[in-house]
Structure 1
């Protein structure tokens, strides 16, 4: 995948602004068909379910007061669809979404579309756990377990195209930094980025300049990670925040 084009970054030039702080709202897509079926969904793609559309609408309502200068998504349909729903719902239908392949989910190779229980079960046995449940318990305590699991997925998948932790982190962090740098150069502002659960946690794992580490992989659909970029440094303010969705849900219920 090539580098992000300089021509499509910094969509709205605000060079007169003195404060070039960039506030990134990095969001997971809404629930999809494969999510609902509990199947592996990395580079494989399915559209949002009605529930997935609704949670994206809730996010749009809950984040309405944040005026986005620019919007980005991975080039996978579920992320692009979520970004469009969020923007349309909050009243920014005219804002173009820039697709960035580098912020895709992990490529799981031959496990794509298979049951999650199969992929995680294989990894658990390979890593000498009694079950995937035992692996998940250990993963919540030790971030290195995710690295080991992703290395195992790449080892065991048979197409030879799978990615490990370092593969995903390298491409994603490079893309996020390039987005942040270009948005800062054009004056800063609020930026929407819609991506994917596991890869977002990998991208943000050690991005914080103050040494704050992100561990675990769980992010609810349409959860938000708020990341501040200023003077070349990132600060992670929140991870997997569902408060915007909850706010939108409350607004929706009041309209009924």
Structure 2
């Protein structure tokens, strides 16, 4: 029987990008970090500088990798644990809506279901419904629905929890994306524990306790 460690997972959203400023969906598309995004990643790195991370993981999107690299520069522990970069930790794929205006996209996605804004969708339904609604609204039906999304992200979680080098009490870092972070919090927090209509800030830190297959969110968007 495989015995998994109990550890703290720090999940960081990448630094601000130009698409963030322009209010555009990025998903599997990408735009560079702004200077504010770079400076914010430095500050996040300083906040994490004294934490001994035994393992680090990162989405393979350039904005996440750049953020990880900047955080890396602030933390000497990274010298002995280079990040494992994987597409498992990517943002949701938005299909036809990649690069389009967020508000217009969420209207097209949620309005047929009586929820014309992202906040309405999250309040009335949840993150999984948001994914299913988007695939339904995508004229090419290429956007990831909840089943497709979690099939991918669960492989990433398995990659982390099955790390044989982790021991009880260790700290692990993951740099990922806004909606992926929201999806994790939506799935692994108590109902009403956090206001998920508030998106995680660029460079913010969310903490989770991982105990085998059990995950509990303890802090969100700090």
**Alpha-carbon contact 1:212-1:236 (below 8 Å) kept:** no
1:173 positional shift: 3.1
What are the residue-to-residue correspondences of 1:38-53 with 2, within 5 Å?
A: 38-53=23-38
State the match for 2:99 in structure 1: 113
Segment drifting more, 19-28 vs 32-41:
19-28
Residue deviations 1:193-225, cap 9 Å, x none?
Answer: 0001111221332336x8886662511111111
State the match for 2:87 in structure 1: 101
Change (3 A) 1:206 1:152: closer
State the match for 1:239 in structure 2: 220
Mapped to 1, the partners of 2:56 and 2:40 lie a distance apart of 18
State the match for 2:40 in structure 1: 55
Change (3 A) 1:227 1:93: closer
**Alpha-carbon contact 1:56-1:86 (below 8 Å) kept:** yes
State the match for 2:11 in structure 1: 26
State the match for 1:126 in structure 2: 112
Q: Which runs of 5+ in 1 are unaligned?
A: 1-18, 242-256
**Alpha-carbon contact 1:165-1:202 (below 8 Å) kept:** no
Q: Tell me whether 1:187 sits opposite 2:167 in the alignment.
A: yes
Mapped to 2, the partners of 1:29 and 1:76 lie a distance apart of 10
Residue of structure 2 aligned with 1:141, choices 104, 114, 123: 123
SS in 1 for 2:209: strand
State the match for 1:216 in structure 2: 196
State the match for 1:77 in structure 2: 62
1:126 positional shift: 2.0
Mapped to 1, the partners of 2:90 and 2:10 lie a distance apart of 16
Mapped to 2, the partners of 1:191 and 1:115 lie a distance apart of 34
Rg (Cα) greater in structure:
1
Q: Tell me whether 1:65 sits opposite 2:50 in the alignment.
A: yes
Taking structure 1 as the reference length, what is the TM-score of the superposition?
Answer: 0.75
1:92 positional shift: 4.1
SS in 2 for 1:240: coil
Q: Which runs of 5+ in 2 are unaligned?
A: none
Taking structure 2 as the reference length, what is the TM-score of the superposition?
Answer: 0.85
1:172 positional shift: 1.6
SS in 2 for 1:206: helix
Q: Tell me whether 1:177 sits opposite 2:158 in the alignment.
A: yes
1:235 positional shift: 2.4
Change (3 A) 1:152 1:85: same
1:239 positional shift: 1.6
Mapped to 2, the partners of 1:233 and 1:211 lie a distance apart of 16
Change (3 A) 1:182 1:206: same
State the match for 1:250 in structure 2: none
